[in-house]
Structure 1
Amino acid sequence: MALNVPGLIAVIIFYTMTLLTGLWAAWKAKRSEKNKKGTEVAIVGGRNLNMVVGLFTTTATWVGGAYINGTAEIVYLPSRGLAWVHAPLGFAATFILGALFFVKPMRSKNYVTMMDPLQETFGDMMGSILFIPPLLGDIFWFASILASLGATVRVILDVQGYIAIIISACTVILYTLLGGLYSVAYTDVIQLLFMMVSLWICVPFALLNSASENIAYTAVNEVFQEPWIGSIETKYIGRWVDDLAYLSLGGIAWQIYFQRVLAASTSKQAIVTSYLSGALSAVLGIPSILIGAVAASTDWNQTSYGLPSPYERNESNMILPLVLQYLCPTYVSVAGLGAIAAAVMSSADSSLLSASSMFAYNIYKKMLRKKASDREVLCVMRLSMVLLGSAGMGLAFLSNSVYDLWFLSGELVYALLFPQLCCALFLPSTNTYGSMAGFFLGFVLRLLAGENSLKIPPLLHYPGCIIVNEIYVQLFPFKTFTMLVSLMTIIVTSYLAQFFFMKKILPIQWDVCKVFSKELSHPSPHELQELEGLKNT
């Protein structure tokens, strides 16, 4: 296979367009800084993002390279199929639940980041600990989507994947560093439009290829492999529900979502944008589903790819670029590569901005340097973009499975951060002691459940834990169980701490987090009345 020169030229043109758009948006951001704080412009776009741009940037953030590659991979896998594709439905549920319950509480106090209510409720120190899950989540997300691009470029252009990873990461870091949310949002518009058009162009060519059987027939009939519609055995229902709940609820507690919510001009606009983004992100999963179905319906021996099949070669994670390369004309496969590149960059810039925003604003400014100037915070934010982007790029070279890395990126956020955010927004009586107990118990439970992608065997075998191909599989919905245990621990421990300290069962000197010390040092109205009576006597 020779270097695909036309494809390489097309990719260079696309990257140039994206970079120029990002630089133009950075110039626009500079103009906005004249009337507003630079950090506010960089993090939440000056809170004046219009609905169209908001819709595109919110959708593009979720519809990344891992989303379109991973969806096609799951549909293609003989052991999974369409029945196990959770992402389109889960992401739609994320936006709907976010609009219903989380947008108004977050906007009512003009928060800048998702960490603000957590620090407000549980204190700065606990807030810094709670920063760890979303930081890891953003780095894993960044790595997974870069890895998906590297795999695609290697297949279609016959160029080493690490070259695409490095160029993509550097491009994203540059325009995000210069323009903040403005650059991210406006490049997302270009990227999402390009992705929608390109992927849908590829679908008809793949469906009509002579090497592929009719996907309506192979959906329910075994031809080259098991039916791609898939099935859910009774014993796997718990795991299926767990994965869906994880995507639906775990997707809320991300800075990349609230960054768009807080950047909208009004609360109503933020709510409407969230609903529309949910619908659009689900629709954009359809091309990947169709491509995965085509792959499962293809006699690969009739293509230049030959046998054994991608599944037998352990190349299922590259099934989308393989379909583009071997079942579509060259110019069409190039368009598909552009779609994947667009999807990757639209999510990569968001995760990079998310992590750096929280570090600069919530850790550096609120904890390490409370008197830091606006300019200083911006410099720290830009430096953290370079460091975090480099870390994510390094991880991208080590990834083996796009879908595993994508799923792993949000598990800690779901199990540990989501219950904390719910308590901070809806149960303000919860306190630091509850937060600490919930976090560490949830972390221990998740660790004991094991993680196959990191080769960590489970020490805690939940009901229905089985061994498949020498790998432990937890059939019990342990992720949701861990989240619920963490939530209940926060509530119960907070109540007990308040009861023991306020009733003076525990000495106030033991209040090391200073949660109740201030409250007890100021007499209540009833106590003041008693003191006044003693004084008069």
Structure 2
Amino acid sequence: MAVNVPGLVAVVVFYIIILVMGIWASRKSKKVEKTIVGSKSEVAIVGGRNINVLVGVFTMTATWVGGGYILGTAEAVYSPSQGLIWAMGPPAYLINFLLGGLFFAKPMRSKRYVTMLDPFQHRYGNMFTATLLLPALVSDILWVACILAALGGTMSIILGLSSALSIVISAVVSIIYTFLGGLYSVAYTDIIQLSFIFVSLFLCIPFLILSPAVTDISEAVHLNQSNVNAWIGELELADAGKWMDEMLLLALGGLAYQALYQRILSAASSAQAQITCFAAAGTVFIMGIPSVVIGVVAASTDWNQTAYGLPPPFERGEAGKILPLVLQYLTPTWLSVLGIGSVAAAVMSSMDSVLLSSASMFTQNIYKTTLRKQASERELQRVIRVSVLLVGLAGMGLAFGDDSVFSLWMLSGDLIYCVILPQLVCVLHFSCANTYGAISGYIVGIVLRGLSGEPVLGIPALLLYPGWREENGVIKQYFPYRTLAMVCSVICIITVSKMVELGFCYQQIPQSWDLLGVFDEKKEAEEEEEEEEVPVPLEKNDNILNTKF
């Protein structure tokens, strides 16, 4: 396939603009560092806690509107086995941000945490926190692979470039500006990227609907008997468990991503953090509309009237590339080039956030508190940059091997949902949770999820739930097994924590069995709190309630 030179030039120009903006933002970050009294590394992680609401909404929306979201939604709507009813991204992310604003933003921001793992470190200590980093890191690497795979497939179709080259170039650009400027570079480049995604994808809609190869969408549903409900899809009772499981995975799993809390914790106040979440709920949903339209159009297209010809993309195993195929064959060339730019923007807007989130957690919660407690600020900033590089390279390596964007997109949230979400809910909202319960819940979540199997990774299912099926020699679960693992983990954390606490308090368990020293530490903490509760008279100008952080 010949290289599309005008398209290539346009994409290169776009990448240069993004890189320049990232470098400019990195200089702004350095200026802020000079005004900060205290930890300079926090500027890279949470932007000095002065990211305003507008920038916050842009960067939060852009993080979730990635390659997986755009291409995965279009793929789900187009696929005959799924359809609109299985395109869960837009409604799930709407719910995700509403719940985040209602129940998670205030307790996290009011305590001035730096990362999502801070509350675990404060209550459970360093060792358990380190075990939580592993599933978070694996999930982030899979997310990077997902969005890079989305871009590679798109560029190979529209620009005629090899997927590998596209993946490498995009990864390098994202790594460079995240490496240089931390959250400032990520946030300000997100503004350009999200604006470009919005304009280019919405501009495609009228051209797609008016294309002569596209049949009347309403007629396609009612009249084409061989393709009934082609894009609406069907939800049979036997599939209800799987549908519910995947919807809850996307809607609740996102609440345990560091990328979400990086933006919440960068807000100037708890109220601003909540407003940012509520506003992002609406913008994320709106940004999913073009992908839904593209999936509907693809399902209603007579591909024999296009240069693509027959058989259609699904029969060729190219459903995961349906968005670039639609742009390539149903829109003018200049618009398909804009489309590839929008996918590139989506990829970088998510990738930079994921790179920074993993680097932040490792630096703040592992390196700084466990490995090198005396590390200087300059050393911590270097660790953040090296971590960004390593996570980017790991995700880039995985991106070369998977064609289904939707599969990687779902898999990236699995461990987060089954293992980290139960821990986060309990540490923030259940004061009884302790280290013994947390360890028990962690083991239960991982074991139940592992025994359920994972076809994408070739892990066989050892625990078969009601409704399981064998398809092409692979066992697939249609029971909400992920949600069961998550709920069981929550129940285990609370139950074990309470039972152990009662056992020690009523001396049913010898104090010498408290190997982790949980209840010794708890007594010391309660004594310190009692001492701190002694009222101190305030001076005239010491109005704590009016203090701005």
TM-score of the aligned structures, taking structure 1 as reference length: 0.95
Pick the aligned partner of 2:176 from 174, 177, 186: 174
Q: Secondary structure at the match of 1:467?
A: strand
Does 2:265 align with 1:262? Answer: yes
C-alpha spacing 1:291/1:65, structure 2 compared with 1 (3 Å): same
Give 1:38-187 correspondences, 5 Å limit.
Answer: 38-187=40-189
* Residue 5 (structure 2) aligns with: 5
SS at match of 2:491: helix
1:396-407 pair list within 5 angstroms: 396-407=399-410
Query: Partner of 1:171: helix, strand, or coil?
Result: helix
Compare 370-379 and 98-107 and name the one that shifted more.
370-379
- Structure 2 CA distance for partners of 1:258 and 1:221, relative to 1, 3 Å: farther
| Distance apart, 1:328 and its partner CA | 1.0
Within the alignment, does 1:18 sit opposite 2:18 as a pair? yes
Residue 87 of structure 1: how far off its partner (Å): 0.6
1:422 is aligned to 425
Q: Does 1:321 align with 2:324?
A: yes
Partners of 1:219 and 1:291 lie apart in 2 by 16
Quick check: 1:448 aligned with 2:451? Answer: yes
Q: Distance in 1 between matches of 2:282 and 2:526?
A: 53
Q: Amino acid of the residue matched to residue 124 of structure 2?
A: F
> Which residue pairs with 1:529 in the alignment?
none
CA distance in 1, matches of 2:50, 2:524: 43
Is the counterpart of residue 273 in structure 1 residue 276 in structure 2? yes
- Structure 1, residues 417-465: CA drift from partner, whole Å, max 9, x if none? 1110011111122111111110011101000111111121211011111
Q: 1:517 offset after TM fit, Å?
A: 3.1
> CA 1:82–1:507 in structure 2 vs 1: closer, same or farther (change >3 Å)?
same
Secondary structure in structure 2 of the residue aligned to 1:34:
helix
Contact kept? 1:220, 1:229, Cα under 8 Å: no
Residue identity matched to 2:98: I
Counterpart code for 1:53:
V
Contact between 1:175 and 1:183, CA under 8 Å: does it hold in 2? Answer: yes
The answer (yes or no) to whether the contact 1:508–1:517 under 8 Å persists in 2 is: no
Structure 1 residue 251 corresponds to structure 2 residue 249: no
How many angstroms does 1:400 deviate by? Answer: 2.3
**Identical-pair percentage:** 51
- Find the counterpart in structure 2 of residue 465 from structure 1: 468
Q: Determine the C-alpha separation between the residues in 2 that align with 1:219 and 1:82.
A: 12
Partner amino acid, structure 2, of 1:479: R
Task: State the alpha-carbon separation in 1 of the partners of residues 401 and 353 from structure 2.
Answer: 22
Query: Quick one: distance in 1 between partners of 2:122 and 2:112?
Result: 13
Q: What is the CA-CA distance between 1:350 and the residue it aligns to? A: 0.3
**Which residue identity does 1:126 align to in structure 2?**
F
Alignment of 1:323-362 (within 5 A): 323-362=326-365
TM-fit CA distance, 1:221: 4.1
- Which moves more between the two structures, 431-440 or 118-127? 118-127
The gaps in structure 1 that reach 5 residues or longer are: 526-537
Distance 1:228 1:221, change over 3 A: farther
Give 1:530's aligned residue: none
2:531 maps to: none
| Other-structure match for 2:211 | 209
Whether the 8 Å CA contact 1:223–1:297 is kept in 2: the answer is no
Aligned to 1:533: none
Residue number in structure 2 paired with 1:370? 373
Residues 232-247 of structure 1: matches in 2 within 5 Å?
Answer: 232-247=235-250
| Inter-CA distance 327–101: structure 2 relative to 1 (3 Å threshold) | same
CA offset digits 1:8-56 (Å, max 9, x no partner): 0000000000000000000000000002132111000000001111110
- Assess if the C-alpha contact under 8 Å between 2:115 and 2:261 holds in 1: yes
Aligned partners of 1:511, 1:100: CA distance in 2, in Å? 36
Map of 2:534 onto structure 1: none
Indicate how the Cα distance of structure 1 residues 333 and 508 shifts in structure 2: closer, same or farther if over 3 A, else same. same
Assess, with a 3 A threshold, how the Cα gap between structure 1 residues 491 and 300 changes in structure 2: closer, same or farther.
same
Q: CA deviation at 1:521?
A: 8.4
| Distance change >3 Å, CA 523–CA 252, structure 1 → 2 | closer
Larger mean Cα displacement after TM superposition, 296-305 or 507-516:
507-516
**Secondary structure at the counterpart of residue 3 of structure 2:** coil
1:508 maps to 511
8 Å contact from structure 1 (residues 224, 296) kept in 2: no
Output the amino acid matched with 1:39: S
Please give the alpha-carbon distance, in whole angstroms, between the structure 2 residues aligned to 1:462 and 1:46: 48
Aligned to 1:308: 311
Secondary structure of residue in 1 paired with 2:403: coil
Q: Which amino acid aligns with 2:28?
A: K
1:522–1:365 distance in 2 versus 1, CA, 3 Å: closer
Query: 1:202 Cα deviation (Å)?
Result: 1.4
Q: Deviations over 1:165-223 (max 9, x none)?
A: 11111111110011000000000000000000001111221221111111222234436
State the distance in 2 between where 1:303 and 1:523 align: 72
Q: Is the 8 A contact 2:221 2:227 kept in 1?
A: no
Q: What is the Cα deviation at residue 519 of structure 1? A: 4.9
Describe the SS at the equivalent of 1:472.
strand
Cα pair distance change 1:250/1:521, threshold 3 Å = closer
Q: SS of the residue aligned with 1:252?
A: helix
Aligned to 1:230: 233
Alpha-carbon offset, residue 506 of structure 1: 2.6
1:63 partner letter = V
**Cα–Cα, structure 1 residues 221 and 86, in superposed 2: closer, same or farther, change >3 Å?**
farther
Partner of 2:322, secondary structure, is helix
Unaligned stretches of 5+ residues in structure 2: 529-549
> Could you report, residue by residue, the CA deviation over 1:69-108 in whole angstroms, capped at 9, with x for unpaired residues?
0000000000100011111000000000010111110011
